[in-house]
């Protein structure tokens, strides 16, 4: 997948001027979706700012795909509403579709057409004509790294390459908002890195991206904010740092003391925020219920008491740690 050429000017479609607020381009407002007695989505509300990447995280069956399908106007909410670029998916679905590109977790292809014909079909469906359509096709093929297989039948592509073509289909009409449901599925490690860079570049160019993935380390690097959902309920939302701070009650500390390690351990055990301390040779291992400033004070306490502190290792909870802490592994 190549970066967007700076010298390639791609005209936008003749769509109405931006209707949404300056900051929020995606909004879910008290969204509910019921299937009989199953509550797939229950009272979900969040916003995504224009030009930001939002990571949607949850176990299988949590309600991610249901809420994304509602955003993509492929389903209707039982209650509540969702807005794309200021337009309601309930009241203005046609205007939403012109502003949104949706990449589902699986999609159908036409066996007897090649990549360029497939993308050209959707370009025509969105009303692109003439030179404008040609430039969009060339740009999408270049951006997704599929220009070398433009004439290749889709049936001959690997799953990873089909994912690229599907992404190209979602981009063909130059939407303001991208909804990507597990876009990294089937991609090799190098392709995932390229995908991550590409999504960040799209956001830097003003597109708003909502992406779901089970590869949480990549979401942590890619996203401006995340939402954690389980059993149809939104459990936490905000930047990765905010959620880590909200949910982090303990951090794991390892302090290496060159001598008198046992005595240093006894000194730490008297501190209320220290728990589960273990002395392992020169290492003091324990859980610490304090912020970074309190951690600095803890080290200073040892030094002031005459202990030779040689190393300090602090393990801050990752997005995976927070996900495991917030969720319970429940499904519908």
pLDDT of residue 173: 95
Is 62 part of any domain? yes
Dump pLDDT digits (tens) for 116-159.
999 999 999 999 999 999 999 999 999 988 888 889 888 888 87
In this structure, are 213 and 286 located in the same domain?
no
Structural domain contains residue 327: no
> The domain spanning residue 93 has which CATH number?
3.40.50.300
Range of the domain at 174: 24-244
Say yes or no: 262 and 237 in one domain: no
Do residues 240 and 145 share a domain?
A: yes
pLDDT at 317: 63
Q: According to DSSP H, which parts of the chain are helical? A: 64-71, 93-99, 115-125, 130-143, 159-171, 189-204, 216-222, 240-247, 261-269, 292-304, 319-326
pLDDT tier, 160 (very low <50, low <70, confident <90, very high otherwise): confident
Together in a domain, 150 and 283: no
238/291 same-domain check: no
Co-location of 57 and 203 in the same domain:
yes
Picking from 226, 244, 262, the residue at the C-terminal end of a domain is 244
- Which of residues 89 and 332 earns the better pLDDT score? 89
In a domain, 2, yes or no: no
Q: How many domains does the chain have?
A: 2
Q: How far apart are CA 114 and CA 121, in angstroms?
A: 11
Quote the pLDDT of residue 116: 93
Report if residue 326 sits inside a domain: no
**Do 234 and 253 lie in a common domain?**
no
Residue 286 sits in a domain whose CATH number is 3.30.70.100
Same domain for 234 and 263? no
pLDDT at 3: 41
The domain boundary, picked from 244, 272, 290, lies at 244
Query: Averaged over 207-235, what is the pLDDT?
Result: 85
pLDDT digits (tens, 9 = 90+) for 194-204: 888 889 989 99
Question: Does residue 180 lie in a domain region?
Answer: yes
Q: Is the pLDDT of residue 15 over 50?
A: no
pLDDT in tens, 264-307: 999 999 888 888 899 999 999 998 887 788 889 999 999 999 99
Classify 128 as helix, strand or coil: coil
Same-domain check for residues 235 and 170: yes
The pLDDT, as a whole number, for residue 320 is: 64
> What does DSSP assign to residue 228?
E
The answer, yes or no, to whether residue 223 has pLDDT greater than 50, is yes
Burial grade of 270 (CB within 10 A; 0-12, 13-18, 19 or more) = exposed
Residue 1: inside a domain, yes or no? Answer: no
Report the pLDDT value the prediction gives residue 327, as an integer from 0 to 100: 64
Band (244; pLDDT cuts 50, 70, 90): low
Whether 265 and 238 map to the same domain: the answer is no
Based on the fold, state whether residues 239 and 257 are members of the same structural domain.
no
165 and 217 fall within a common domain: yes
Span 63-104, pLDDT tens digits = 999 999 999 999 999 999 999 999 999 999 999 999 999 998
User: What's residue 329's pLDDT?
Assistant: 57
pTM for the predicted model, two decimal places: 0.73
Of 214, 244, 274, the position where a domain reaches its end is 244
For residue 94, give Cα distances in angstroms to 98, 149, 308.
7, 32, 68
């Amino acid at each position: 997948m190549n970066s967007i050429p700076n010298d390639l000017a791609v005209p936008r479609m003749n769509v109405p001027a931006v209707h949404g607020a300056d900051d929020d381009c995606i909004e879910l407002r008290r969204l509910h979706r019921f299937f009989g007695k199953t509550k797939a989505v229950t009272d979900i509300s969040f916003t995504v700012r224009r030009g930001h990447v939002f990571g949607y995280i949850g176990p299988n069956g949590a309600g991610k795909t249901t809420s994304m399908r509602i955003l993509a106007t492929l389903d209707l909410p039982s209650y509540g509403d969702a807005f794309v670029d200021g337009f309601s998916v309930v009241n203005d679905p046609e205007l939403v579709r012109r502003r949104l590109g949706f990449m589902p977790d699986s999609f159908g292809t036409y066996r007897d057409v090649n990549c360029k014909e497939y993308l050209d079909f959707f370009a025509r469906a969105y009303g692109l004509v003439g030179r404008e359509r040609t430039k969009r096709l060339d740009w999408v093929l270049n951006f997704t790294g599929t220009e070398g297989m433009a004439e290749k039948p889709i049936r001959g592509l690997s799953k990873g390459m089909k994912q690229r073509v599907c992404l190209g289909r979602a981009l063909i009409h130059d939407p303001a908002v991208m909804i990507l449901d597990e876009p990294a599925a089937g991609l090799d490690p190098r392709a995932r890195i390229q995908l991550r860079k590409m999504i960040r570049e799209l956001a830097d160019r003003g597109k708003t991206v909502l992406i779901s993935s089970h590869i949480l380390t990549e979401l942590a690097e890619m996203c401006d904010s995340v939402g954690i959902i389980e059993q149809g309920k939104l459990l936490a939302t905000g930047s990765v740092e905010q959620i880590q701070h909200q949910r982090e009650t303990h951090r794991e500390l390892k302090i290496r003391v060159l001598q008198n390690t046992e005595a240093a351990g006894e000194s730490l055990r008297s501190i209320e925020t220290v728990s589960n301390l273990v002395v392992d040779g020169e290492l003091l291992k324990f859980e610490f219920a304090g912020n970074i400033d309190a951690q600095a004070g803890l080290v200073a306490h040892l030094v002031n008491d005459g202990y030779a502190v040689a190393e300090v290792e602090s393990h801050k909870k990752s997005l995976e740690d927070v996900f495991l802490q917030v969720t319970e592994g429940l499904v519908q």
